[in-house]
Structure 1
Amino acid sequence: MTNNHKENSRLTIENAKALVIDSIAETMDLYGVTRSAGALYGTMYFEEDMTLDEMREMLGMSKPSMSTGVKKLRNYHIVKRNFRKGTRRQTFVAEKDFFTFFSSFFTKKWLREAKINLDAIQQSQNELNDLIEDSKTEKNLKKEAEQIFQHLEASKPYYYWLQKLVNSIESEEIFDFLPVDHKT
């Protein structure tokens, strides 16, 4: 292989990786992650493991930016701390299985959504119920409180369904209904 061909081949490989890294960075806003943290994840996706210094060199970002990005990605469990034999420096590795990435990220978000909203609904319904049962409450206000109570009650099935969806993802039961096609 000539040197020129080898250089062109290397450029093709780097360009292919850059296209995917850029698309990952572009779409990471879905996960509440900045473009730069998305680029960091995309870069790490192609590496075995990396130190903060290696990340900084590859991406040209400051060490504090790298540290912040890694921390955010670790909080989502899509980057994990790793130890490289023979070095005392911490290294980090990206989750390469997108199904695990998806499960880890969305199940936490969906459970949070269900809990926060069901708690708020319960608190609201308790307050509305007190108003409804109070004999001093005017008839039109009682009727409005009852309508709001029922409106809130009608929203609960969604949050219960969301919790069941999370359970089916965590148990991997969802793949019985929606199998992964490993063919391309």
Structure 2
Amino acid sequence: MDAKHEEILQRAQERVIEALAKNMDLYGITMSTGLLYGTLLFQDKPMTLDEMGKAMGMSKTSMSTGVRTLMELKMVEKIWKKGARKDHYEVNLDWYQNFIDLFSLRWRSAAEYNVHAMKKSLQELHALLQSEDLSDELRERVQTSIQRIENGLEYYDWLSRLIDSFETHEIFQFVPKKPMS
């Protein structure tokens, strides 16, 4: 009977692992890295790269790349084990913090890139407005572009404050989290 129960447990875990991996793709994480995260999630102990590779049927190099990505996102941590020569890794089980770290890193990076481009374009457009030989029609288009870019900068200021509220956990005053068991 235990074999049947074990099969049900494994099937349930695999379903969750696959769903997580597909969902993580929305955040720019490859399917294989998502599968690695899910695999680590259901382990009872930290794993080495070799153990991960064996469990997933993939190369140690692939596991190393995936673990590096997950560590950068603070979703996986390297664990010291006394007497062990190989590095061991385990999942950070705080899903709220995992989301905050992933969201913050990805969104802040994208926002900063866009703000930089918008500010540079604003400088160029303001300089263009100083041209005396600018036609009225072109001047109007430049002013419209400036207004749209300034609206975009207001949005990115809001987004930056939203990201700050995640990083400081202020967001939980507005959307409380349930304690994890």
Shorter-chain TM-score above 0.5: yes
RMSD over aligned CA atoms reads: 1.6
Structure-to-structure mapping, 1:95-106, within 5 angstroms: 95-106=92-103
Quote the residue 2:10 is aligned against.
Answer: 14
Task: Output the amino acid matched with 1:54.
Answer: E
Aligned mates of 1:23, 1:118 — CA distance in 2: 34
**CA drift at 1:167:** 0.8
Q: Which moved more, 1:5-14 or 1:155-164?
A: 5-14
Unaligned runs of 5+ in 2: none
Aligned mates of 1:85, 1:24 — CA distance in 2: 32
Residues 1:80 and 2:77 aligned together:
yes
**CA drift at 1:117:** 1.3
Quote the residue 1:107 is aligned against.
Answer: 104
Unaligned runs of 5+ in 1: none
**CA drift at 1:182:** 4.5
Quote the residue 2:160 is aligned against.
Answer: 163
Aligned mates of 1:169, 1:97 — CA distance in 2: 14
Q: Which moved more, 1:37-46 or 1:7-16?
A: 7-16
Quote the residue 2:177 is aligned against.
Answer: 180
Quote the residue 2:28 is aligned against.
Answer: 32
Quote the residue 1:42 is aligned against.
Answer: 38
Aligned mates of 1:82, 1:132 — CA distance in 2: 58
Residue deviations 1:26-80, cap 9 Å, x none? 2120121121111110000112311001101111111111111112222222112
Aligned mates of 2:22, 2:106 — CA distance in 1: 20
Aligned mates of 2:129, 2:30 — CA distance in 1: 46
**CA drift at 1:136:** 2.5
Task: Output the amino acid matched with 1:28.
Answer: M
Aligned mates of 1:12, 1:151 — CA distance in 2: 55
Structure-to-structure mapping, 1:52-67, within 5 angstroms: 52-67=49-64
TM-score after normalising by structure 1: 0.91
Residue deviations 1:79-119, cap 9 Å, x none? 12111222010011112111111000011111112211111
Q: Give the aligned length.
A: 180
